Amino acid sequence: MDLGLTGKTAIVCGSSQGLGRACAAQLSAEGASVIINGRDSDKLARVADEMRQNAVGKITPVVADLSTEAGRATLLDAFPDPDILVNNNGGPPFKPFGALAMDDVRQGVEMNMITPIALIQAVLEGMVARRFGRIVNITSVSVKMPVAGLDVSSGARAGLTGFAAGVARTVAQHNVTINQLLPGYFATERLMQGFAATAQTTGMDAEQAADQWRSQVPAQRFGTPEEFAQTCAFLCSAQAGYLTGQNILLDGGLHKAAF
């Protein structure tokens, strides 16, 4: 299926590895010109070279720490008018509630709520004017279901979700959509951090912790970044203009609810 992305421009935040990288690669394979981002310039340059081998659209790396206003300005100065924005980052560290310092909470809110809101606000007007816009916020299954050690993640991302729910309805008439993609457990470095946190609190080794996490998933496996990216690309497609304000779980059945 042609997703209608040829000639579109996409910013994919936090895309030097993991889910962001896979989303960037998929959008580029579908014909979009993609701005990839991360904080490590050497790593980002290497990833850009690797991605170019299968890319259809142009790949442009922009090094910027999006937890800072200066970093967000750098990204937006380089590409002020994207057609597509994928909000993503590394997520707060796994920490038990009692061990959280207020600075951990502030940082989590900055990264997982304020940063995406600031970027959405900056790009929305242009999307409305061009009558095309696709915004995907990568959040987490932890918005719907608590995950041990991720209380800051759950809270900050729930705040973003509430914010986006209202804004999505104000721009829907202009063919601009805003949706959240909620990963369950995907095989990335971030998930390894989760296994390490479980290992630390239970005395298991990391492999046993991984088995325990996997056994919670009805699909009995972790998701792949590539399958996550395909759903992201569809949400960004020309065909997805009537799909907005939604929270789409990709979790192999992990969140056990009928609705």
Ligand X SMILES: NC(=O)c1ccc[n+]([C@@H]2O[C@H](COP(=O)([O-])OP(=O)(O)OC[C@H]3O[C@@H](n4cnc5c(N)ncnc54)[C@H](OP(=O)(O)O)[C@@H]3O)[C@@H](O)[C@H]2O)c1
Q: Which residues bind ligand X (CB under 6 A)?
A: 14-20, 37-40, 43, 65-67, 88-91, 138, 140-141, 183, 185-186, 188-191
Q: Choose between 124 and 141: whose C-beta lies nearer to ligand X.
A: 141
With respect to ligand X, which residue has the nearer C-beta, 85 or 171? 85
Shortest distance (Å) from residue 106 CB to ligand X:
14
User: Rounded to the nearest whole angstrom, what is the least distance from the CB of residue 239 to ligand X in the complex?
Assistant: 25
First-to-final CA distance of the chain? 29
Q: Which residue has the tokens 């792949």?
A: 224
* DSSP character at residue 101: -
229: nearest Cα among 16, 10, 26: 26
In the complex, minimum distance from the CB of residue 108 to ligand X, in angstroms, rounded to a whole number: 10
Angle at 69 between CA 67 and CA 70, to 5 degrees: 105
Nearest residue to 118 via CA among 11, 233, 246: 11
- Helix, strand or coil for residue 135? strand
What does the block give as tokens for 256?
């056990």
Q: Which is nearer to ligand X, 76 or 141 (CB)?
A: 141
Nearer to ligand X, 177 or 188 (CB): 188
Nearest distance from residue 204's CB to ligand X, in Å? 18
Residue with Cβ nearer ligand X (19 or 85): 19
How far is residue 257 from each of residues 36, 62, 144, 145, 195, measured CA to CA in Å?
A: 35, 40, 10, 10, 25
Q: Shortest distance, CB of residue 71 to ligand X, whole angstroms?
A: 6
| Distance (Å, whole) CA 2 – CA 105 | 42
Q: Which residues contact 74 (CB under 8 A, 6 or more apart)?
A: 62, 63, 64
Q: Considering beta carbons, is residue 2 or 40 the nearer one to ligand X?
A: 40
Q: Which is nearer to ligand X, 55 or 210 (CB)?
A: 210
Task: Please report, for residues 36, 67, 192, 226, 244, the alpha-carbon distance to residue 25 in angstroms, rounded to integers and kept in the order given.
Answer: 9, 23, 22, 9, 23
Q: State in angstroms the smallest separation of the CB of 2 from ligand X.
A: 27
- Tell the smallest beta-carbon distance from residue 13 to ligand X (Å): 6
